Amino acid sequence: MIPVKAYAAFSATTPLQPFQFERRELRDHDVLIDILFCGVCHSDLHQTRAEWGDALYPMVPGHEIAGKVMRIGSRVTKFKAGDTAAVGVMTDSCRQCNPCKSYMEQYCAESMTGTYNNYERDKKTVAQGGYSTQIVCDERWVYHVSDKLNLAAVAPLLCAGITTYSPLKFAGVRHGDKVAVAGLGGLGHMAVKFAVAMGAEVTVLSTSPFKERDARRLGAHHFVLSNSGQMEKLKGHFNIVVDTISADHDYSPNLKLLALHGKLLVVSLPKVDPHVDPFELIKNRRTIIGSMIGGTVETQEMLDYCAEKNIVADVEVIPIQYINEAYERMLRSDVKYRFVIDMASLQ
Ligand code: NAP
Ligand code: ZN
Ligand code: ZN
pLDDT, tens digit (0-9, with 9 covering 90-100), for 286-310: 999 999 999 999 999 999 999 999 9
State how far the Cα of 164 lies from the Cα of 196, in Å rounded to an integer. 12
- Has this prediction a pTM greater than 0.85? yes
pLDDT value at position 247? 94
pLDDT value at position 234? 97
State how far the Cα of 164 lies from the Cα of 153, in Å rounded to an integer. 16
- Model confidence at 246, pLDDT cuts 50, 70, 90, reads very high
DSSP tag of 271: S
pLDDT tens per residue across span 12-59: 999 999 999 999 999 999 999 999 999 999 999 999 999 999 899 999
88 lines ligand 1 (CB under 6 A): no
State which H helix or E strand residue 91 sits in.
strand 90-92
252-259: average pLDDT: 97
Residue 230 CA, distance from chain mean position: 29
Q: Is 196 left (phi over 0), alpha (psi -120 to 50) or beta?
A: alpha
- Model confidence at 271, pLDDT cuts 50, 70, 90, reads confident
Residue 310 CA, distance from chain mean position: 19
Among 189, 224, 244, which residue has the most ligand 1 atoms within 8 Å of its CB, making it the best to mutate? 244
Rg (CA), the chain: 20
Q: Say if residue 347's pLDDT is above 90.
A: no
Q: Which residue, by CA, sits nearest to atom 16 of ligand 1?
A: 247
**DSSP calls for 159-207:** THHHHHHHHHHHTT--TT-EEEEE--SHHHHHHHHHHHHTT-EEEEEES
Q: Say if residue 95's pLDDT is above 90.
A: yes
| φ, ψ (nearest 5 deg) of residue 227 | -100, 35
Do strands 142-144 and 178-182 pair parallel, antiparallel, or not at all (unpaired)?
Answer: unpaired
Q: Which residues crowd ion ligand 2, with CB under 5 Å?
A: 41, 43, 159
185 lines ligand 1 (CB under 6 A): yes
CA of 208, nearest ligand number = 1
Q: Which residue, by CA, sits nearest to atom 40 of ligand 1?
A: 292
CA of 61, nearest ligand number = 2
